A and B are shown apart, each in its own frame.
Chain A
Amino acid sequence: MSETQNLTVVQAVRDGLYTEMREDDEVLVLGQDVGKNGGVFRATEGLFDEFGGDRVVDTPLAESGIVGAAVGMAAMGLRPVPEIQFSGFMYPGFDQIVSHMARFRTRSRGRFSLPMTLRAPYGGGIRAPEHHSESKEAFYAHEAGLKVVIPSTPYDAKGLLAASIRDPDPVIFLEPKLIYRAFRDEVPEEPYTVPIGEAATRREGGDVAVFTYGAMTRPTLEAAESLAEVGIECEVVDLRTVSPLDREAIIEAFEATGRAVVVHEAPKTGGLAGEITAIIQEEALLYQEAPVKRVTGFDVPYPLYALEDYYLPTAARIEEGIKEAVEF
């Protein structure tokens, strides 16, 4: 067993970048304030001093430029890891993401591969200003050619980031900033990967399957523990990758109980919960004992922070949703 460090999620991201950059000279980081400043969340702290300004690049303030330049670098075989400072600022780069990052391989019939990983902190709960709290993973999951990865633990953050950087295809790596510093985990010092596209069972239980990811994993587990006290046992599945979804894990967990709840902070309409529900309907209809319950954000623009606690699913709302699915 190798040495481990006790790291937070954001420290594990930083460690993942550090380890991969040390392993592979073709890995480089570019974005706003990632260099001397070490990133606004300190996700790139110390990397500028360690690897220099050619591999940890402070760019002009231009998201389309950051993503588009990374596309060009990746087409030439580098492994760029562009950072967009907050996922709410990805939209100036959206054209590059959907028109090029997602389909360079297709459009060149495989001549160009884009081994790039676009990192962005996402999600709510930190009393941030407007446009700093949204969860729009569904945009990217909807775009063929992209993989969309969302870790919920420090161990996974490092391992999934390494897997993303090494992946031949472009990855959108969304980091739930609510849990950036919420807790620590033992993280190996050496490089390792956690496979993309594999869900993880965070809690076993025989009454209902609850699917979630990112920052919602914690309140979901909290709800599950609380329900255990009244005799309801939840199987909690952390999807970890929202594109491609781990269909087998979803079906297996669902078939065990015939009841499911999906929890995400993104708005309900067009969210991943609908897709997961459809997979269940396609693959396991005859197992179904209750309607699949969605506990999600609302179909409204993310509110200013004084109301965000009412927007985000809480353990109490999740508990209520689980009870509905179990008691149906």
Chain B
Amino acid sequence: MYEEVGPTVSVFDRAYDDPVRVLDEDGEVVGDVPDLDAEALVEMYRHMRLARHFDGRAVSLQRQGRMGTYPPLSGQEGAQIGSAAALDEDDWMVPSYREHGAALVRGLPLKQTLLYWMGHEAGNATPEDVNVFPVAVPIASQVPHATGAAWASKLRGENDAFLCYFGDGATSEGDFHEGVNFAGVFDTPTVFFCNNNQWAISVPRERQTRSATLAQKAEAYGIDGVQVDGMDPLAVYSVTRAAVEKARDPETDRPRPTLIEAIQYRFGAHTTADDPTVYRDEDEVDRWKAKDPIPRLESYLRSEGVLDDERVAEIETDVETRVADAIEAAESEARPKPEEMFEHAYAELPPELERQYEEFAAFREAHGDEAFLEE
């Protein structure tokens, strides 16, 4: 991970509608720059470029019929990479289903993400040393898990931080309320990171709740709530890092849990099955594209003398190679074996399931795969 810093906890002492900012849209410094060394900053930039390039390729794989429905993340790299970078090695990430960028910062191989969206069971087999929970598709259902997992860590005296991602729509779900409320009551080391990308499929943020901000919902749970410019990776890093440190540190007089509302935008569709032109204006998309987190960070890093044309070109090549290699690796993966369906439903296959499997295997033996793969 990246070198740690430490903004003071005062980042939480602000109005709910006053987002933390570090870089403006042009990459000019407008706030406290986190104390990250040059390599950590370049790594952050590289990850954002990697996530963006991966995303474009994934969408095109879906278009070519080489992958199933896929949820794009373009526009959200600043929020994903900036926040995941703020975790320490032992901390955990609890994702929804769009955090491919955050997951790669945590060490999840791109191939793994591709396999999942290509419908391979193996795509769900997160490597043991990667502290990432399974993808959670049902909205907000992972929020109570993040509370419980963090609670377990606290009960064991480990106090690792658990960074839980969800969207603006998720804040309308009962699971959001229950999970965050528990976190407040049991003071668990959980960081609730709301990727407010303005749209829950076709429903705009202002139709989710009459609350002026999502951050202010923290007030009702007695925990800290803060808004951050989610298109600004350095601001996201600073706020998340402060929340992680507060979560881990029992000495602070503040509650451990934090609700972060990262204001951002998804440039593309909700998923490849969605057509956003039906419900939102191109003008709006263009306005947000002007806030793109990648050129913003690049511009800052160039002005600091950390990036130059040569380095950017090296990163471009590296990113393209890594994505191409991951696609190649995922597509060369053998088709999943049908028996994988039966594996892992239980620690031990119950007798009836064993019987069903044998019947299935005998039929397959007798009739071949073409008896299953009709049409």
Known: A61-B208, A89-B139. A317 touches B119 (CB 8 A): no
Asked if A32 contacts B173 (CB within 8 A), the reply is no
**Would you call the interface of chain A mostly helix, strand, loop, or mixed?**
loop
Q: Does A91 sit at the interface, judged by CB under 8 A?
A: yes
A276 CB to nearest chain B CB (Å): 19
- Of the listed stretches B16-24, B106-114, B271-279, B307-315, chain A binds B271-279
Choice from A62, A299, A316 contacting B371 with Cβ under 8 Å: A316
Asked if A317 contacts B274 (CB within 8 A), the reply is no
Q: Does B30 sit at the interface, judged by CB under 8 A?
A: no
Q: Does B179 sit at the interface, judged by CB under 8 A?
A: no
Which chain B residues in 165-184 approach chain A with CB under 8 Å? 169-170, 172-175
A131 CB to nearest chain B CB (Å): 5
Q: How many residues on chain B are close to A (CB under 8 Å)?
A: 54
Which chain A residues in 280-326 approach chain B with CB under 8 Å? 298-301, 303-311, 314-317, 320
Asked if B278 contacts A60 (CB within 8 A), the reply is no
Q: Does B155 sit at the interface, judged by CB under 8 A?
A: no
Asked if A304 contacts B353 (CB within 8 A), the reply is no
With a cutoff of 8 Å between Cβ atoms, the chain B residues found around residue A317 in the complex are: 363, 371-372
Q: Does B138 sit at the interface, judged by CB under 8 A?
A: yes
A19 CB to nearest chain B CB (Å): 23
Asked if A298 contacts B360 (CB within 8 A), the reply is yes
Please, which residue of chain B has its CB at the minimum distance from the CB of A91? B138
Q: Does A247 sit at the interface, judged by CB under 8 A?
A: no
Q: Does B212 sit at the interface, judged by CB under 8 A?
A: no
Choice from A32, A269, A303 contacting B340 with Cβ under 8 Å: A303
Asked if B353 contacts A298 (CB within 8 A), the reply is yes
Please, which residue of chain A has its CB at the minimum distance from the CB of B275? A37
Q: Does A204 sit at the interface, judged by CB under 8 A?
A: no
Q: Does A255 sit at the interface, judged by CB under 8 A?
A: no
Asked if A40 contacts B201 (CB within 8 A), the reply is yes
Q: Does B124 sit at the interface, judged by CB under 8 A?
A: yes
Q: Does B137 sit at the interface, judged by CB under 8 A?
A: yes
B39 CB to nearest chain A CB (Å): 36
Give the CA-CA distance A58 to B119 in the complex, in Å.
30
- Of the listed stretches A75-83, A122-130, A186-194, chain B binds A122-130
Known: A61-B200, A62-B174, A307-B121. A301 touches B345 (CB 8 A): yes
Q: Does B336 sit at the interface, judged by CB under 8 A?
A: yes
Please, which residue of chain B has its CB at the minimum distance from the CB of A130? B137
Asked if A298 contacts B342 (CB within 8 A), the reply is yes
Q: Does A268 sit at the interface, judged by CB under 8 A?
A: yes
Give the CA-CA distance A33 to B279 in the complex, in Å.
10
Q: Does A52 sit at the interface, judged by CB under 8 A?
A: no
Choice from A62, A301, A307, A315 contacting B374 with Cβ under 8 Å: A315
B202 CB to nearest chain A CB (Å): 4
Instruction: In the A-B complex, list the 3 residue pairs whose CB atoms are closest, starting with the nearest.
Output: A37-B202, A305-B119, A61-B169
Known contacts A37-B279, A58-B203, A60-B209, then 20 further A-B pairs from the complex at CB < 8 Å, ordered by chain A residue: A33-B202, A37-B201, A65-B172, A88-B137, A89-B139, A127-B119, A130-B137, A131-B137, A131-B138, A132-B137, A298-B341, A303-B121, A304-B336, A306-B121, A306-B336, A307-B341, A308-B119, A309-B372, A316-B367, A320-B363
Q: Which residues of B approach A to under 8 Å, CB–CB?
A: 68-69, 97, 116-121, 123-124, 135, 137-139, 141, 169-170, 172-175, 200-203, 207-209, 271, 273-274, 278-279, 335-336, 338, 340-342, 345, 352-353, 356-357, 360, 363-364, 367, 370-374
Of the A-B pairs whose beta carbons lie under 8 Å apart in the complex, a sample of 26, sorted by A's number, is: A32-B200, A33-B201, A35-B202, A36-B279, A58-B202, A58-B207, A60-B172, A62-B174, A92-B173, A127-B119, A129-B68, A269-B352, A299-B352, A300-B341, A304-B120, A304-B121, A304-B336, A306-B119, A307-B119, A309-B373, A310-B360, A310-B364, A311-B341, A316-B367, A316-B370, A317-B363
